[in-house]
Chains A and B, each alone.
Chain A
Amino acid sequence: MLSTFFLFDRRLITRFDLSLFFIALLIVGFGIFNLYSASVSVHAVGAVYKKQVYWLFLGIVLLFLGSFLNYSYLEQFGYFLYFFVMFLLVLVLFQGKFISGSRRWLSLGLFNIQPSEFVKLSLIIVLSKWFKDKFDTRGFSLSSLSMPGCFLIIPFFLIFLQPDLGSALLLVLIFFSLVFFVRVRFRTLFILFFCAFLFFPLSWNYLLKDYQKDRVVHFLNPSLDPLGKGYQVLQSKIAIGSGKFFGKGYLKGTQSQLNFVPEKYTDFVFSVFCEEWGFAGALVLVFFYIGLLFRFLFIASSAKNSFGLLLGYGITALFFWQIIINIGMALGLLPTVGITLPLFSYGGSSLAISLFCVGVMINIHIQKHIF
């Protein structure tokens, strides 16, 4: 009984994907090293990086859990997990801790958790299950997408109310990544684009708050008011650029040490790293991420069943979008939205869930060899 629940076959342990494991841990290691530098000039020296270390221990436990807990259970209990997370999202709206203008955290006494981090994975699970069960080789029609659409809309609005625009946007990206992957009919595609075309002006007028609009405007022209809204992007670009080829050296980044880099533990953590380690350091870090994503894609493509394939692909998309958006906004390529750099930014729930996802990928890899 236990052996079907957990994969305890010794051959399978030898199939454990060490390369993926080490790439993930190296990125986390870089991240903690970097968080130490970002937090050293601040009053409570190092509290941030220490917390991250504690979460790392929990994350590693979750990684092994994800690796050895047969992922077909995720399929089996997918809806249950999804509704449980929706419950947490509702709870956070009423009971959540109010920090700097939004309710995102549930206090568990000893620590806080951020349910929106769990939504991402549970959405991937239910969508993968649904698309697999209802797979249509001719491509999905618009009407058949109404159910997956509901899976998206519920958490989207719950998160939007917190408000956490970054996480809400990420859910949309995950949804469309999966929809395009399983293929939709041409007519459906056309209608979806048309809707999106309508959605943007409408959301601009009715949905987005002023500060969110400001961000888009100032992304388009950051020098408009350097002390105001475009300040974050400008300071981030100065930090990254001033690192030049070899960086200013560990703990020596003036932009970040003097707190000019905004949100330097989370959204702009990449800027801190680039200032101190330069182009050379940034290349190394980005190559690690590329290695991680290609390994993810390889594992997904060789999954033993279609659920594994869709799940693996969904997790890859989740990581991909977070990495691209976070780095893109630090580089001034994309507007500022609150999306963290997975495995690297400060954030306990994010780190724990990201490491669990890595575990699930390792699991998909291991399972390939069971028939």
Chain B
Amino acid sequence: MDFDQEIIEALSQRLGFLKFFVFLVFLIIFVRLFYLQVVKGDYFFDLSENNRIKIQEIPAPRGVIYDRNGRVLANNTPSFDVSLLYAGIKQLNGILPLLSEILNLDPEEIIKKVKNSLYLPRFKPIKIKLDVNRKELSGIEFHKLDLPNVVVEFFPKRNYPLKEDLAHVLGYLGEINESELARLEYSSYTPGDFLGKAGIEKVLENPLKGRSGWLQFEVDSLGRKKGVLGSVDPVPGEDLFLTIDLGLQGFADQALGEKNGTVIAMDPNTGEILAFVSHPSFDPNLFSRGISSNDWSALIKNLFHPLTNKGIQGLYPPGSLFKIVTAIAGLEDGKITPETKIFCNGFFNFGNRPYRCWKKGGHGTLNLFDAIEQSCDVYFYQVGHLVGVDALAYYAKLFGLGSPTGLILENEKGGLVPTSKWKEKTFHIPWQKGETLSCAVGQGFYVATPLQMLVLISTIANGGKVYTPSLVKKLENEHGTILKNFKFNDVHQLPISPASINIVRESLRRVVQGENGTAKIARVAGIEVAGKTGTAQVVGLPPGEARSKLPSYLQDHAWFFAFAPFNDPKIAVVVLVEHGGFGSVAAAPIARDVIKYYLENKGS
């Protein structure tokens, strides 16, 4: 036997003892576990959540939302809730009459609230009435001794000083519902918590919400505080800076006035949204401590859908705005040059029917610049016919039509870019050549959101760069330290020749600045504006019937989009007025005023 084996022999003798030692130590652990969890389990359980120790939530203030210059868009104001502690359920019947009188609530309703809250964690007081007024509050304080286990809780209530303005972007809060509670991402919430339900409040819920603090204190048998056992400070939510310019936003909201529709403005060099108006709107303050059923049904039943964000959820035929895409397609595919001349006599016969120009007598002979300047339909029917539906679709998609722009808000629609394949697949009938003509002037199957059209005009303005529109600049903590900078999102240069873009840009300048332009009304003194009007048909009409005789809800939608100054674009705007009629009349003046205001007050 060698020496190594001798060592092994010598050492192995001790291993038996070691096993015994390990066993003994673990036995102590088992005994201790048994003692803490089984023998004293009830005691510690009580300590953790029942009568001896109370846990009180200290709500975290939600992050403040500012505009790009640090002006408040959403903040918090103090409010008070009246709640019942879990321990008070047994005596509820005794205090019910008094409680219902002070709070002006039906006793049945109070009982219902308590019953619905029985599945809450026991440390959470049961909310009886949220956001009580001064009179109710003093009533509760006055009868404090008669209302054991009824507590008044402070709550930082969400406040939107702009009220209806910008509501679709900011969104609103609401109480967490059962299906949300079941989702994993909300597992840190408990029933009764409020969270973002729409808009920025929803998509940036996580940084905005902060973290509740907790106070754990021991109480005696009468519920009096004996001493604090532990506390965790609340962490305020992060402050949010949007790209919105509050001054411009308010101005744009006023400019659209009582009309339904949308006004969106963007910096074409960054994709930052400067103003975002959608009418009709709603007051998000109504939601801040739970919306009443009356208010809610009024919103839901409103025929003009105030909860819908028309800028990203409204789908409209792009109308003449789309002629830009048709022109680019014709130029890029070599089907036309800027000097290609076409004669317009007021209609274009194709197949068995005439396709009419908006101008009854016709425009005469036009080149591309003239055709865009005067928005001649016949010219673009012919360009569309030369290019074909699928090439149109290719260029439309390049500009981002047919899919959501990628704005941070939820439920953005993508619109529709028809192709011959799409039609075969959807309707099982082949594409008709005549349909291409309608598409070339933005009617037919084409639909798009106003935001998509804004991206289109911005892309033309900046020479062919497609930006993903952004709404959020940065997140800061309460000390002003920047936590996250939202850089300009994706941007890509289109594979389109600068020459084509410049031709279209020049044409758009003539639309406003030219002698025969359709949007001369949009001129701003001292600044060159470029833009395009459009009209989105709500219903088709047989020849000879005047649109003005239609009821207002069947009137066409008015479009206008523009950018300025022409040589160094600082702002791009899209305006859509629902049932507003001609774009030049209803929409262009609004865009003009917005541009004028912005260029005069920029940076204010």
Of the listed stretches B42-50, B309-317, B510-518, B590-598, name the one at the interface; the rest are far from the partner chain.
B42-50
Whether B120 sits at the interface, judged by CB under 8 Å, is: no
- Interface flag for A242 (CB, 8 Å): yes
Say if the beta carbon of B421 comes within 8 Å of chain A: no
30 contacting pairs across A/B (C-beta < 8 A): A43-B211, A132-B4, A135-B3, A137-B10, A226-B227, A227-B230, A238-B47, A240-B33, A241-B47, A242-B48, A243-B37, A251-B187, A258-B55, A258-B216, A258-B232, A260-B230, A279-B33, A279-B41, A283-B30, A294-B19, A300-B15, A301-B12, A301-B15, A306-B8, A309-B7, A309-B12, A331-B29, A331-B32, A333-B28, A333-B32
B26: CB under 8 A from chain A? Answer: yes
When the two chains form their complex, are residues B4 and A245 in contact, meaning their CB atoms are under 8 A apart?
no
A283-304 CB contacts (< 8 Å) to partner B: 283, 286, 289-290, 293-294, 297, 300-301, 303
Q: Supply 4 further A-B pairs (C-beta < 8 A) apart from A254-B123, A306-B11, A313-B15.
A: A42-B211, A226-B229, A274-B37, A300-B15
- The verdict on A191 contacting chain B, using a C-beta distance below 8 Å, is no
Interchain CA distance A176-B28 in the complex, whole Å: 22
Which residues of chain B come closer than 8 Å to A244, judged between CB atoms? Answer: 37-38, 41-42, 44-45
Q: CB distance B11 to A235 under 8 Å? A: no
Q: Which single residue of chain B is at the shortest CB-CB distance from A310?
A: B11
Residues of B within 8 A of A (CB): 3-4, 6-8, 10-12, 14-15, 18-19, 22, 25-26, 28-30, 32-34, 36-38, 40-45, 47-49, 55, 121, 123, 185, 187-188, 206, 211, 214, 216, 227-232, 235
Measured in the bound complex, the distance between the Cα atoms of B6 and A144 in whole Å is 20
Known: A241-B41, A278-B37, A286-B26. A40 touches B188 (CB 8 A): yes
Query: Which of B4, B10, B235 sits near A305, CB closer than 8 Å?
Result: B4
Q: Please, how many angstroms separate the alpha-carbon atoms of A242 and B188 in the complex?
A: 20
Given contacts A244-B37, A278-B37, contact A227 B228 (CB under 8 A): yes
| Interchain CB contact under 8 A, A290 and B26 | yes
Cβ of B231 and Cβ of A227 under 8 Å apart? yes
Is A181 an interface position by the 8 A CB rule? Answer: yes
**Given contacts A132-B7, A238-B48, A258-B55, is CB(A294)–CB(B15) below 8 Å?**
no
**What are the residues of chain B within 8 A of A254 when measuring CB–CB?**
48-49, 55, 121, 123
Q: Known: A254-B48, A286-B26, A331-B29. Is A279-B38 also a contact (CB below 8 A)? A: yes
Q: Are B8 and A282 in contact (CB under 8 A)?
A: no
**When the two chains form their complex, are residues B232 and A331 in contact, meaning their CB atoms are under 8 A apart?**
no
SS of B interface (majority) = helix
In the complex, chain B residues whose CB is within 8 Å of the CB of A333: 28-29, 32
Are A242 and B7 in contact, CB atoms less than 8 angstroms apart? Answer: no
10 A-B pairs with least C-beta separation: A241-B44, A244-B41, A242-B48, A306-B7, A279-B37, A241-B36, A242-B45, A242-B44, A41-B188, A301-B15
Residues 123-134 of chain A: 1 if any B CB is under 8 Å from the residue's CB, otherwise 0?
000000000100
Residue among A255, A258, A300 having the largest count of chain B Cβ atoms under 10 Å: A258
Choose among B12, B40, B185, B232 the residue that contacts A259 (Cβ–Cβ < 8 A).
B232
Tell whether A145 is near chain B: CB-to-CB under 8 Å: no
- A257 to B49: give the CA distance in the assembly, Å: 13
- Distance in Å: Cβ of A198 to nearest Cβ of chain B: 26
Interface status of A13 (Cβ within 8 A of chain B)? no
Q: Is the CB of A297 within 8 A of B19?
A: yes
B19 touching A242 by the CB < 8 A rule?
A: no
Q: How far is the CA of A40 from the CA of B231 in the complex (A)?
A: 19
A-B contact count (CB 8 A): 145
A17→B417 CA distance, assembly (Å): 62
- Complex partner residue of A260 from B3, B15, B206, B216, CB under 8 angstroms: B216
A181–B11 touching, CB < 8 Å: yes
Chain A residues lying within 8 Å of B19, measured Cβ to Cβ, are: 294, 297
Asked if B214 and A258 sit within 8 Å, CB to CB, the answer is: yes
Does A324 belong to the interface (CB within 8 Å)?
A: yes
Instruction: Judge whether A74 is part of the interface by a CB distance below 8 angstroms.
Output: no
Q: In the bound complex, how far is the Cα of B41 from the Cα of A278, in angstroms?
A: 9
A320: contacting residue among B22, B32, B43, B187, CB under 8 A: B22
* Cβ–Cβ < 8 Å partners of B22 in chain A: 290, 293-294, 297, 320
A48 within 8 A of B: no
- What is the minimal beta-carbon distance from A264 to any residue of chain B, in angstroms? 12
Assembled-state Cα–Cα distance A278/B227 (Å): 28
CB B543 to nearest CB in A, in angstroms, measures: 62
Closest to A252 in B: B121
Residue of B nearest to A300 (CB): B15
Q: What is the minimal beta-carbon distance from B56 to any residue of chain A, in angstroms? A: 11
Query: Of the candidates B11, B29, B235, which one forms a contact with A286 in the assembled complex, judged by CB atoms under 8 Å apart?
Result: B29
CB distance from B541 to the nearest CB of A (A): 56
Note all chain B residues with C-beta closer than 8 A to A286: 26, 29-30, 33
Chain A residues lying within 8 Å of B43, measured Cβ to Cβ, are: 241
Q: How far is the CA of A309 from the CA of B15 in the complex (A)?
A: 10
In the complex, how many angstroms separate the beta carbon of B501 from the nearest chain A beta carbon?
43
Contact yes or no, B12 A327, CB < 8 A: no
Q: How far is the CA of A132 from the CA of B34 in the complex (A)?
A: 42
User: B4: which of A183, A283, A306 is its contact (CB, 8 Å)?
Assistant: A306
